A and B are shown apart, each in its own frame.
Chain A
Amino acid sequence: DTGVSQDPRHKITKRGQNVTFRCDPISEHNRLYWYRQTLGQGPEFLTYFQNEAQLEKSRLLSDRFSAERPKGSFSTLEIQRTEQGDSAMYLCASSSPEAGRAGEQYFGPGTRLTVT
């Protein structure tokens, strides 16, 4: 299966530690998105990339958060000095608007972060 993959699937960390998540999009997709989903809520947009360029960042993305997509393929999302409020599911999605299916994003299984 060549869908979107995310690693790790689960991460438990202590408050104040740094964590990094990885997302591997569908290989031919040039857009990659990060969302955060808390319990009982819909996903909230964090940031997205077109190839290696980060095009938009949500105000939800504080200066403790940084995302990269160095070669336009996989992406990493790092959270520094984690706080309990960072506990959530972090979802990655990818798309290829040029394929004529604008807006059709394919989601990964997510990384569930628990900050203790």
Chain B
Amino acid sequence: AQTVTQSQPEMSVQEAETVTLSCTYDTSENNYYLFWYKQPPSRQMILVIRQEAYKQQNATENRFSVNFQKAAKSFSLKISDSQLGDTAMYFCAFMNRDDKIIFGKGTRLHILP
């Protein structure tokens, strides 16, 4: 069975700093997708970034980038120049070919002014 592990329940960083959120996963599949979703307080979940496992190049979306290490089954999220609006729960997630997303337990990120 696939699992997703986020080892950092909570993190705090100063505004404008860079922060990295960790995620590891376990699967025997070779083709799959990895995601980071953001859930702001009392607001709905939105997709931050998406990585296809067959692509070696790390995905980037503006200030958000990932470090995808397929052999190590590691998928960390780096947020550069953090902003107050980045305060949220961040979920690492995995999807294989059956189109079912498996989420980690989340990391609560606080951006401090």
Contacts and interface: CB of A to CB of B under 8 A. Distances in A.
**Chains A and B belong together in one complex:** yes
B100 A107 contact: no
Contacts of A108: 44
Interface stretch (A19-27, A68-76, A77-85, A97-105): A97-105
Contact of B101 (A40, A45, A97, A110): A45
B103 A44 contact: yes
Contacts of A93: 45
B13 interface: no
A112 to B, nearest CB: 10
Interface residues of A, number: 25
A42 B44 contact: no
Which among B100, B104, B105 has the highest number of chain A CB atoms within 10 Å?
B100
Contact of B33 (A40, A91, A103, A110): A103
B11 interface: no
Which among A4, A43, A45, A107 has the highest number of chain B CB atoms within 10 Å?
A43
Interface of A: 4, 31, 33, 40-45, 48, 56, 91, 93, 95, 97, 101-110
B84 interface: no
B61 interface: no
Interface string B82-113: 00000000010101001111111110000000
A106 B47 CA distance: 8
Contacts of B43: 109
Contacts of A48: 99-100
Which among B43, B44, B93, B102 has the highest number of chain A CB atoms within 10 Å?
B44
A103 B44 CA distance: 17
Contact of B95 (A4, A44, A103, A110): A103
B99 A42 contact: no
B16 interface: no
B106 A110 contact: no
